[in-house]
Amino acid sequence: MNRKINSKNTSPMITALYCRLSLEDGKDNESMSISNQKLLLKDYAEKNGMFNCEYYVDDGFTGRNFNRPAFQRMISDIEAGRIGCVITKDLSRLGRNYIESGSYMEVFFPKHNVRYIAITDNYDSVNKQEMDIAPFKNILNDMYSRDISKKVLAGRMTRSRQGKFCGGQPPLGLMRDPDDNGHLIIDAETAPVIRRIFDLALDGMGNMKICKTLMDEKIPVTRTKQTTECDVNYYAWSGSRISTILRNPFYKGAHVVCKTHQKGIRSNTYNIIPREQREVIEDCHEAIIPKAEWEKVQQLIDRRPPIMKGNSCPYYNIFHGIVYCATCGKSMQVRYEKVGRTNKDRRTGKEREPIDKAYYICQTYNRLGKDACTSHKIEARDLYDLVLADIQEVAAMALKDREAFYGRLSRRMEKQYLADTDSLKREYESLAGRNQEIDDTFISLYADKAKGILTEKRFLKLTDAMEREQENNQNRMQEIAAIISEEEHSEGDVRTFMEEIKRYAAITELDETVLNRLINRILIGKPEKIDGVRTQEVRIVYNFVGEL
């Protein structure tokens, strides 16, 4: 087994030079610290005969957890068998969580035959005599991190209780005071939007009606306007966003101390503090909305009945997650009419079932109106009968002449495969060529740096940009390879579909099992009138084989 694996992996093993710096270490010397780590690691590797090196840099990431982009990329490369040695400046650069650090050093790295070296701590996993003190150093690093975290949190809470804004992006309508970073002032550009939203709420409008009004008035969701013509999504306000704005005390000049509480330093999980339990400090900055109006809006919201209270739909939606609008791509929502339709069908005289009172409507139309998308309304009964008939027809063809049906599907999928793979292969070759150019450029830049033609700062800036581009190219190449690999299994997909369709050849009713096993999605087109007759296109995309 080992000989087979080694015969495939002909490329030399990489020495991973891992650098990390936390934001808490300071902003002034942040880049220089990373630069020094790179120089130290590169010098150590070259002196010890390790020339096939690759940098993995996490600049601005805490050591308390290991969810860091470069570190996770390094772990993936280790699992892929590309890395044979990992070098860091010291043990704390690997991480400050002694449990996970110890797990990587004593379990993960040995399991994957990876040597680990921490230079300034004189730790080398090959030297068994130096392994006894490493766990104690990890515990000290962990304790240091905990102490720093508590001090930082205490400092932020003190500032927050003084009415200082310690969050990231200020709420829409407010901005940071240029003279005091912790003080908020009114943003003259976006504050009118907030005033407009509260005025509409005071007029008695609900969240969705406010959304549609803002869209009609072409009020953008974001803070800055684009220079080009915007699509409808640029003005697509959501009900949840309107609700958040109307409930935000910042707009009456108050300050919320904190909205979440961290469960534990290591867990990186948070509990949301209920709105009524949050600590609010009044009159911390200039208000956009007068306090009396803000309180009035809260009263209007609190007295509204819950959505669909006592009006639950008795129709069980078996098409949930399958039916989509063919125009905007959003899912279709089921609606139920309790009034307007009698309990008996006037044509047949039969009692109506819940499905006869249900229909599907485009989510975008329901949320944003006709300017965003049309209703694409289709009766639930019509959709049910159409899908059932199509499944029965396809199953009958598969049973009647299996070979002819199989040949037709195979030819269609092969034609589609050839069209798709040609363009994908050209893109793959272009990306591979670009990556080779980057490698050649990197060697040339390193030679210029060694000769003193290129400064260290300039060298790092250029190589970092090229490394990011190369990484993006590599990710795209992996995606293309996966797509081509899936397309190559089209023959097996056809056989799998034929086996599935045969199982349901005699069905007379639909259920969730049948739909999810056979159908990937159903696309509902826009209704049109042709020669006075209402017609509507419904496209059924089957699993494995697509549209038939």
Give 235-252 as a 3 state SS string: HCCCHHHHHHHHCCHHHH
Is the model's pLDDT at 125 over the cut of 80?
A: yes
488 vs 537, higher pLDDT: 537
Domain of residue 21, residue span: 2-148
226 vs 465, higher pLDDT: 465
439's tokens: 């490698």
Q: Same structural domain for residues 135 and 201?
A: no
- Pairing state of beta strands 378-379 and 270-272? unpaired
Residue 72: its pLDDT value, please? 93
Is the model's pLDDT at 148 over the cut of 90?
A: no
Q: Same structural domain for residues 11 and 71?
A: yes
Three-point CA angle 147, 149, 151, nearest 5°? 70
Burial of 42 (C-beta count, 10 Å sphere; 0-12/13-18/19+): middle
- Residue 14 located in a structural domain: yes
Task: Using the 3D structure, point to which of 284, 302, 320 is the last residue of a domain.
Answer: 302
Q: Same structural domain for residues 474 and 522?
A: yes
Contact call for residues 191 and 211 (beta carbons, < 8 A)? no
Task: Using the 3D structure, point to which of 263, 285, 302 is the last residue of a domain.
Answer: 302
Burial of 126 (C-beta count, 10 Å sphere; 0-12/13-18/19+): exposed
| Alpha-carbon distances, residue 435 vs 29, 206, 439, 441, 456 (angstroms) | 32, 54, 6, 10, 23
Task: Using the 3D structure, point to which of 278, 302, 326 is the last residue of a domain.
Answer: 302
Burial of 134 (C-beta count, 10 Å sphere; 0-12/13-18/19+): buried
pLDDT-derived band at 347 (thresholds 50, 70, 90) equals: low
Is the model's pLDDT at 29 over the cut of 80?
A: no
Please report, rounded to a whole number, the percentage of residues in the chain having pLDDT higher than 90: 12
Q: Same structural domain for residues 199 and 312?
A: no
Residue 393: its pLDDT value, please? 84
- Residue 161 located in a structural domain: no
pLDDT-derived band at 121 (thresholds 50, 70, 90) equals: confident
Cα distance between residue 131 and residue 154, in whole Å: 36
Is the model's pLDDT at 1 over the cut of 60?
A: no
Residue 114: its pLDDT value, please? 93
Tell me 476's DSSP state: H
pLDDT-derived band at 130 (thresholds 50, 70, 90) equals: very low
Q: Same structural domain for residues 366 and 461?
A: yes
> By three-state DSSP, how is residue 351 classified?
strand
Q: Same structural domain for residues 541 and 509?
A: yes
- Residue 156 located in a structural domain: no
Cα distance between residue 170 and residue 255, in whole Å: 11
Q: Same structural domain for residues 228 and 312?
A: no
Q: Same structural domain for residues 222 and 93?
A: no
Query: Residue 269 is part of a domain; what is its CATH number?
Result: 3.90.1750.20
| Alpha-carbon distances, residue 362 vs 130, 315, 523 (angstroms) | 66, 18, 11
Q: Same structural domain for residues 276 and 315?
A: no
DSSP assignment string, 38-90 = HHHHHHHHHHTT--SEEEEEEET--SS----HHHHHHHHHHHTT-EEEEEESS
Q: Same structural domain for residues 256 and 322?
A: no
Residue 258: its pLDDT value, please? 81
pLDDT tens-digit map of 390-414: 888 888 877 777 777 777 776 666 6
Please report, rounded to a whole number, the percentage of residues in the chain having pLDDT higher than 70: 79
202's tokens: 């005071």
- Residue 282 located in a structural domain: yes
Q: Same structural domain for residues 29 and 142?
A: yes
Is the model's pLDDT at 128 over the cut of 90?
A: no
Residue 36: its pLDDT value, please? 84
Count of structural domains within the chain: 3
- Residue 162 located in a structural domain: no
Average pLDDT of every residue of the chain? 79
Burial of 355 (C-beta count, 10 Å sphere; 0-12/13-18/19+): buried
Query: Residue 103 is part of a domain; what is its CATH number?
Result: 3.40.50.1390
- Residue 206 located in a structural domain: yes
pLDDT tens-digit map of 472-524: 888 888 888 877 766 555 555 667 777 777 777 778 888 777 787 788 889 99
Q: Same structural domain for residues 144 and 206?
A: no
Contact call for residues 66 and 97 (beta carbons, < 8 A)? yes
